[in-house]
Amino acid sequence: MTEYLNVAGNKIAYDVTGAGPLVVLAHGMGDSRHSYRFVAPALVAAGYRVANLDIRGCGDSSPDWDGYSRTDIAGDLVALVRHLGGPAVIMGQSISGGAATIAAATAPELIAGVIELAPFTRTQTVSPGGLMRVKRYRTGSLQLGLTMALGSLSAWKKYLDLAYPAKPADWAGELARIETTMSEPGRMKALQAMARTSPADAGARLPDVRCPVLIVMGSLDPDWADPRAEGEQIIADLPAGLGQLSVIEGAGHYPHAQTPDEVVALSLPFLTRTLTNA
C-alpha cells in the first residue's frame, strides 16, 4: 500500500513491508522505488522492516520541488526515518547514495549505517584519458549529456541500455514502465534538475560520517572510467575504518536490479552488524 509523507507542501510516496529493524531504500534519478523490486522482498524475508520510497520528483511522489540537491533528498530521507521511528540503515543508489551520506552526517542518532550503490558522492571531473580508453564511459557520458541538455527520453533509454550490461528477465516491462513515468509532466524536468546538481555537498560531509558505510560498485558502470577507483576514493575520504568496498563483476549502474542476489548477499552481514544493537 502506498503511503505519503508531507514535506514542504509536497508528498513523498513510500511503502513499508515486513517487521524488524528498519531499512530505507532510495533509488536514483529518473527511476522509482520499483527498481528495488528484487531486493526489498529478500530483505523482508531476512527479517527487516523495509521502507521503499520514491525520491522527490520521481515515481508517485510530487513532481514539482524547489530543489533536487543531495542535501534536499537527504532531508526527505531523515524525515521519513524519523516518521517511521528509526534508527535505520539507508540503502541509496546513485544520487541517493550521496544523499544517504549527508543524512548520516546530519542525523547520526537516526542513521545506523549506509549502503551506497554506484553512488555519486564526490565532486566529479571528466577524465579525458578515460573518454579515450573506455568506450562505455564515453558513450554513457554522451547519452547523459544529451538527456541533461535536451530532456531527451530517447537518450535516457540509450543510457539505460548501457547501464544495464545484462538485463533483468522483466526488462521489457520495466523499460515500458520507466518510459511511461518519464513521459508524465514534470518528470523529465526533475531528472534534468538532478543531473545538474553537484555532489560537492555530499563529498564535503564524508569526513563527518560516524556510522559504517558499505560502497557497492559495478565493474561495468558507464558513469566512471574506473568504478573501483571511485569507490576507493570515497572510502579514503571517510573517517578511517568506517568504509568497505565491494565491486560486483559485470554489473553496471543498477546492481540492485541487475544483480540483486549479489547486493543482498553483501548487504545482509552489514545489516546484521549495524542494526543488531542499534
If one counts the domains in the chain, the total is 1
We report the CATH number of the domain holding residue 271 as 3.40.50.1820
Helical residues (DSSP H) of the chain, grouped into ranges: 39-45, 70-84, 95-106, 128-133, 135-150, 153-163, 171-182, 187-196, 200-205, 227-237, 255-258, 260-275
**Model's pTM, two decimal places?**
0.95
The whole domain housing 118 covers 3-275
Query: What pLDDT does residue 278 have?
Result: 67
CA distances to 9, 26, 87, 140, 169 from 199, rounded to whole Å, are 25, 16, 25, 18, 32
For 114-146, how does the pLDDT look when each residue is reduced to its tens digit (9 = 90+)?
999 999 999 887 777 878 888 989 999 999 999
Q: Which residue numbers in the chain have pLDDT < 70?
A: 278
Query: What pLDDT does residue 90 have?
Result: 98
Query: What pLDDT does residue 144 have?
Result: 92
SS3 (DSSP) at 140: helix
Taking a C-beta distance cutoff of 8 angstroms, is the pair 65, 10 a contact?
A: yes
Query: What pLDDT does residue 53 have?
Result: 98
